[in-house]
Structure 1
Amino acid sequence: MTSNTVPGNSPGSSINPWLVAVTVALTTFMEVLDISIANVSLRHIAGDLAAGQDESTWILTSYLVANAIILPMSGWISNLMGRRRFYLICVALFTVSSLLCGLAPNLFALIFFRTLQGIGGGGLQPSSQAILSDTFPPHQRGMAFAVYGITTVMAPAIGPTVGGWITDTFTWRWIFLINVPIGIISFYLTRLWVYDPPHFTERRKALLASTFKIDGLGFVLMALGFGCLQIVLDKGEQEDWFGSHFIVLLTVISVVSLIILPFWELRHKNPMMDFTLLKERNFFISNILIFMLGFVLFSSTLLLPLFVQILMGYSATDAGLLLSPGGVAVLLFMPLIGYLINKTDVRKLIMVGLILNIFSLWMFSLLTMQTDYTTMAMLRIVQGIGLGFLFVPINTAAFADIPLVKSSSASAMINLSRNLGGSFGIALVQTWLSEGSQRHLNYLVGHLDPYRTLYQDQVKQLELLIHHYGLMPFDLNQTANAIVYNFTYQQAQLLAFMDNFKLLGILFLIMIPAVIFLKKRDHSKQ
């Protein structure tokens, strides 16, 4: 086997594997970008379609729910109909639904088309990773995952910036329409360069020739379990979590379904989710690590823009630009990380990634409202490099001992873990931020005593300052007290942000023992 062709005797065996890598990376970038690109445009969409702000959030939820349902079963569907065919269907569905989203006449139509888009997108990530795993021999897989990692780590970072720029410059419809030419190019290149390897084709033929039974109950359990879970995570904060009967009902359905699911799947001959993969130690630990990576990646990508917008007055575009240096760092360092995979123990690389992230998150927890843009951008660069040192080694460790015939199922599970981590991270950080602000506010207000001389002196100084600048409100004392309260609330929010950044760092610190239990990779056998 030469190193510059696709392994095996498939129709694509003479194709340079890097052409395949670029093809699937392009599609994955488009899909991952679409998860976050619409966030900053919701207000514009709601206004244009005459919808309420709460109603418009279903534009995001519908996509995420459909994505969460289809993603875990994508490996099973690939094995049934062929990975190349399934991938082409997903690209076509994503592209056509993107066009329909851009042309949607009302909110209901947009939500429906976003659901279709989520179904198409849900199969793209795991299929892309499985294609790379089969296309590249083990000694080149680290570099291939580095190319894939650029798309999955960089896209969430630049999504809000790109979405805001497109919406401000053109119209919100172009955040969907921009996918159409990219999707057409991807579809053409996939037909040209991507093929199923011989071992996959043989296994599929054997599967179809056997007494194959569709895992109907597994499908229902996954749809209910992951679908309801995604709605709970996406709507929990808005609906006051378990104070809402709607959230409680969906939580019960999700928990019951997900408890039954593994017991049923382990008994089924052709399960939709292959839980036996978790018996492999590296794959099990890698799923835990990639879940936490998704948790921190998406939650920190949410926290930093919120911090600078709420407390420092940044515009949405400027806040998005603050994330961009981290994305550039990922782009520059991923090839180096891919090279180091075959030279260094992956456990050491993961440790480097964890340490860089712990350091940057701890420094983020020390931010003040006077911190300058350059300092925050540099910390984001350090974090971006750290995320790169996590993504590629974790995925390489996960697939190291997985048989090629199970790469589709393994890819579906590892991508599900990362996406669930992201959903949990965003949901919990929003809640921690809200509750933390209120907790700190209660504490700080409890120490504001209007009868203390220090407090009265501060209020009088504010009254003089207001009067000095020619402002003559109806009640100087009331205005001065309002300023004190607003400043106190601002400090409470600052403390809540500090707590959240610190907690994310602690979560990564807890992951260090898990890395130690990963099996050492023997490079001499690659």
Structure 2
Amino acid sequence: MAAAASASAAPLPPLTGSARAWGTLSLSAAVFMNVLDTSIANVSLPAIAGDLGVSPTQGTWVITSFAVANAIAVPLTGWLSQRFGQVRLFVASVALFVIASLLCGLAPNMTLLIAARALQGFVAGPMIPLSQSLLLASYPRALAGLAMAMWSMTTLVAPVMGPLLGGWITDNMSWPWIFYINVPVGIAAVLATWAIFRHRESERRSLPIDSIGLALLVVWVGAMQLVLDIGKEHDWFASPVVVASALVAVVGLAAFLLWERDEAHPVVDLTLFRNRNFWAGSLATSVGYGLFFGNVVLLPLWLQQYMGYTATQAGEIMAPVGLLAMVLSPIVGKTIGRVDPRRYATFAFVVFAIVLWMRSRFSTQADFATIMVPTIIQGISMAFFFIPLVTLTLSEIEPARIPAASGLSNFMRITAGAVGTSVTTTLWERRATLHHAQLVENLHPASPGFDQAFGLLRAAGMSDAQALAQMERMATQQAFMLAANDIFYLSAVLFMVLIPLVWLAHAPRPHAGGAADAAAGAH
């Protein structure tokens, strides 16, 4: 097999047999490790903050430092892969991720932990888009859908495993082990990937780096993330700091777009948006993911704060979402070449809407099984969401531009997830305040129900003050439940509104499926 120069001259054949199986496993292991680290630290924040002597609010920077650095690095994938080669860049990213994980676990204070997490997020940037590109290059056209199904299963399972695994490690070991577990997985992925893919290197070209574009990207993404991080604590645009950060983000984004449009070697290839399938698919994926991720954050918050669930119980509620997704993803992958992916994506959005409508009818009396049923059903929509939309997004992109296209679409998805989380939690609290005010309007001695409720609480042995405090707690619980119902219902409506966006894209050619066409010359 020839080296990189020859590889660029003639397409390499797909991998076969055990090489393809081990290649898929090594790429998937690296992606699993990456995606796991976006959520595994969430449930460990109180332990980390307590151990390092900072407040829980300061502890959230453990999450956001990773997200900001990751979002900045993802769009650089196209340039980096051309400069260093896809295989070398992927292997280097995984190796550096292992080193950064080790530094996270060894960090003696919050400052060094945040720095190590930022490094971890930055070097993780190329891993997801390059894993897609290398995996598509390993499979024949007819099996490209199956390749994406195998890849997507890791991204479906990891967010569910993260909180469960993180909670168990924190309770039974110590928080540094949430980072140490990456070391053996990462080393195995590096060795296996290099052994299998080192002779399949992509063509390398020495391109100048767009330093001004990169600086503008860092500025506007960093400022936007700062707005999302501190906005809720500082009453959003009532704070001069938030207003200033928002202005920097907006002006920085405008300057970035203007600069990149005329740059010969841009950090982000904005010409990709000239392709209808790319912009429609990326936008549908991003908005859908933002809605999905915001609700994934909201449900366990509501359960733990106002329904009396422990972190473990909330994790058990969330875990079954991966069951049907794992069963159905291979089926979707095998049939995506014969079925219009727009139909599958539409089905996914309809199921998402049904799931969220079911949740919008929850009450404070909802039991464990009632709350879990929509979560199980949601697995169906996840299987039909990622694979068809990735296929649709990349369907008309030429092979050489797949890393850049995948990097840009993943950047949009990651950013939408951060925005969705912030908007969802803020809107939840504001709607709860409104519902609470409406509920307590009727909570006075002259109202018919007041005397009855007050009398029952007094009969249970409570003092007047205790009875009033209990009624206030019940009103708060009801207010946040009603606010959660509002968010669930609005999200259901928005998923239905997204469906026409999917149909703005062209149907990929049926013989290969969109992603297969995109990968045609990549192997």
The match for 1:512 among 488, 494, 499 is 499
Offset of residue 32 of structure 1 = 0.7
Q: TM-score, normalised by structure 2?
A: 0.92
Tell me which of 143, 147, 157 is aligned to 2:146. Answer: 143
Partners of 2:93 and 2:249 in 1: how far apart?
26
In 2: Cα distance, 1:500 partner to 1:227 partner:
27
Q: In the alignment, what sits opposite 1:188? A: 191
Query: Relative to structure 1, is the Cα distance of residues 393 and 332 closer, same or farther in structure 2, using a 3 angstrom cutoff?
Result: same
Amino acid at match of 1:113: A
Q: Measure the CA separation in 2 of the matches of 1:299 and 1:178.
A: 27
Residue number in structure 1 paired with 2:109: 106
Tell me which moved more, 398-407 or 213-222.
213-222
For residues 15-52 of structure 1, the C-alpha deviation after alignment (integer angstroms, 9 at most, x for no partner) is 74343222211111111110110011111111111222
Q: Distance in 1 between matches of 2:220 and 2:316?
A: 36
Name which of 21, 25, 29 aligns with 1:26: 29
Give the 3 Å change call, closer, same or farther, for CA 10–348 of structure 1 in structure 2.
closer
State which of 116, 124, 127 in structure 1 corresponds to 2:127: 124
Cα distance change on mapping 1:97 and 1:524 into 2, 3 Å? closer
Q: Is the 8 A contact 1:291 1:417 kept in 2?
A: yes
Residue 55 of structure 1: which of 34, 53, 58 is its match? 58
2:470 corresponds to: 483
Given that 1:27 and 1:186 are in contact with CA atoms closer than 8 Å, whether structure 2 keeps it comes out as yes
The residue type paired with residue 171 of structure 2 is D
Residues 1:372 and 2:367 are matched in the alignment: yes
Q: Deviations over 1:43-87 (max 9, x none)?
A: 111111122222222111211111111111122111111111111
Is the Cα–Cα contact under 8 Å of residues 141 and 396 in structure 1 kept in the other structure? no
Distance 1:130 1:262 in 2: 26
Structure with the larger RCO, 1 or 2 (CA within 8 Å, 6+ apart) = 2
Counterpart in 2 of 1:230? Answer: 225
Pairing 1:331–2:326 present: yes
* Aligned counterparts of 1:270 and 1:133: Cα–Cα separation in 2: 26
Report the alpha carbon displacement of residue 465 of structure 1 after superposing the two structures with TM: 2.2
Determine the C-alpha separation between the residues in 1 that align with 2:13 and 2:147. 21
1:185 & 1:444 partners in 2: Cα distance?
Answer: 57
Query: Distance between the aligned counterparts of 1:525 and 1:363, measured in 2?
Result: 36
Once residues 196 and 417 of structure 1 are traced to their aligned partners in structure 2, the CA distance between those partners, rounded to angstroms, is: 32
Deviations 1:182-223 (A, max 9, x none): 01001101111124757x41xx34xx3xxx432111111111
Deviation of the 1:129 alpha carbon: 1.7
Aligned match for 2:158, one of 141, 155, 160: 155
CA drift of 1:481 comes to 1.8
Matched, 1:444 2:439: yes
| 1:42 equivalenced with 2:45 (yes/no) | yes
SS at structure 2 position matched to 1:344: coil
Q: 1:407-439: CA deviations, max 9, x gaps?
A: 110010111111112111111111011111101
- What is the aligned partner in structure 2 of residue 174 from structure 1? 177
Choose which of 333, 345, 358 in structure 1 pairs with 2:353.
Answer: 358
Say if 1:221 and 1:258, in contact at 8 Å, map to a contact too.
Answer: yes
Aligned to 2:383: 388
In 2, Cα distance between equivalents of 1:314 and 1:332: 28
What is aligned with 1:263? 258
Structure-2 separation of matches of 1:377 and 1:457: 34
Deviations 1:318-364 (A, max 9, x none): 10111111112222211111112022111111111111111011001
Q: Note closer, same or farther for the CA distance 1:314–1:442 as it changes in structure 2 (3 Å cut).
A: same
CA 1:269–1:135: 2 relative to 1, 3 Å: farther
Following the alignment from structure 1 to structure 2, what is the Cα–Cα distance between the partners of residues 164 and 367?
26
Q: Distance in 2 between matches of 1:343 and 1:14?
A: 23
Q: CA distance change for structure 1 residues 311 and 94 in 2, over 3 Å: closer, same or farther?
A: same
Superposed counterparts of 1:60-79, under 5 Å? 60-79=63-82
Partner of 2:409: 414
Q: 1:196 to 1:499 in 2, by over 3 A?
A: farther
**1:9 Cα deviation (Å)?**
5.3
Cα shift at 1:91: 0.6
> Bigger CA drift: 450-459 or 212-221?
450-459
Task: Give the equivalent residue in structure 2 for 1:426.
Answer: 421
- SS of residue paired to 2:511: helix
Paired residue for 1:92?
95
CA distance in 2, matches of 1:75, 1:139: 26
Relative to 1, partners in 2 of residues 1:279 and 1:196: Cα closer, same or farther, differing over 3 Å?
Answer: farther
Greater displacement, 184-193 / 306-315: 306-315
Q: Quote the offset at 1:453 in angstroms.
A: 4.4
What percentage of residue pairs aligned between the two structures are identical? Answer: 35
| CA distance in structure 2 between the partners assigned to 1:55 and 1:522 by the alignment | 50
Q: Judge conservation of contact 1:30–1:179 (CA < 8 Å) in 2.
A: yes
Question: Partner amino acid for 2:499?
Answer: I
Where do 5+ consecutive residues of structure 1 fail to align? 1-5
Letter in 2 for 1:136: Y
Match of 1:290 in 2: 285
Q: Aligned with 1:76: secondary structure?
A: helix
TM-score between both structures, scaled by the size of structure 1? 0.92
Amino acid aligned to 2:197: V
8 A Cα contact 1:156 1:298, kept in partner: no
Task: Say if 2:14 and 2:138, in contact at 8 Å, map to a contact too.
Answer: no
Q: Alpha carbons of 1:197 and 1:239: their partners in 2 closer, same or farther (altered >3 Å)?
A: farther
Shift of 1:525: 6.1
For residue 220 of structure 1, the aligned residue among 215, 218, 223 is 215
Q: Give the SS at the match of 1:524.
A: coil
Q: Which moved more, 1:411-420 or 1:366-375?
A: 366-375
When residues 316 and 85 of structure 1 are mapped into structure 2, their CA distance, relative to the original with a 3 A threshold, is same
Count of equivalent residues:
505
State the distance in 2 between where 1:354 and 1:13 align: 34
Counterpart of 2:489?
502
* Greater Cα shift, 255-264 or 271-280: 255-264
Q: How far, CA to CA, are the matches of 2:391 and 2:33 in structure 1?
A: 23
Letter in structure 2 aligned against 1:521: P
User: Residues 396, 340 of structure 1: CA spacing in aligned structure 2 closer, same or farther, 3 A cutoff?
Assistant: same
Any conservation in 1 of the 2:14–2:137 contact (CA below 8 Å)?
A: no
C-alpha offsets along residues 222-280 of structure 1, whole Å, 9 cap, x if unaligned?
Answer: 11122222222233223322222222222111111111222221211111111111111
